[in-house]
Copies of this chain bind each other. A is one copy, B any other.
Amino acid sequence: MDKKAVSLAVVRRLPRYYRYINDLYVDGVERISSTALAEQMGFTASQIRQDLNCFGGFGQQGYGYNVETLRSELASILNIDKNYCAIVAGIGNLGRALLQNFNFIRSGVQVKAAFDADLRVVGTEVNGLTVRYIGDLEDFLRAHPQPIDIGIITVPKSVAYDVAKTFCDNGVRALLNFTSYDLSRAGITVPVENVHFTDSLLTLTYRIE
Interface residues of A (CB under 8 A from B): 3, 9, 11-12, 14-16, 18-19, 40, 42, 77-80, 82, 84, 92-94, 96-98, 100-104, 106-109, 149-150, 173-176, 184-185, 191, 193-209
Q: When the two chains form their complex, are residues A184 and B98 in contact, meaning their CB atoms are under 8 A apart?
A: no
* Given A206-B11, A206-B78, A208-B84, A201 and B173 contact (CB-CB distance below 8 Å): no
Residues from chain B with Cβ under 8 Å of A207 in the complex: 11, 174, 191, 193
Residues from chain B with Cβ under 8 Å of A16 in the complex: 196, 199
The DSSP consensus for interface residues of chain A is helix
Q: Chain copies in the assembly?
A: 2
A11-B203, A109-B205, A194-B200 known; 4 new pairs, CB 8 Å cut-off, are A3-B209, A77-B206, A94-B94, A106-B198
Residues from chain B with Cβ under 8 Å of A84 in the complex: 205, 208
Residues from chain B with Cβ under 8 Å of A201 in the complex: 15, 104, 107, 109, 150, 176, 193
Q: When the two chains form their complex, are residues A204 and B197 in contact, meaning their CB atoms are under 8 A apart?
A: no
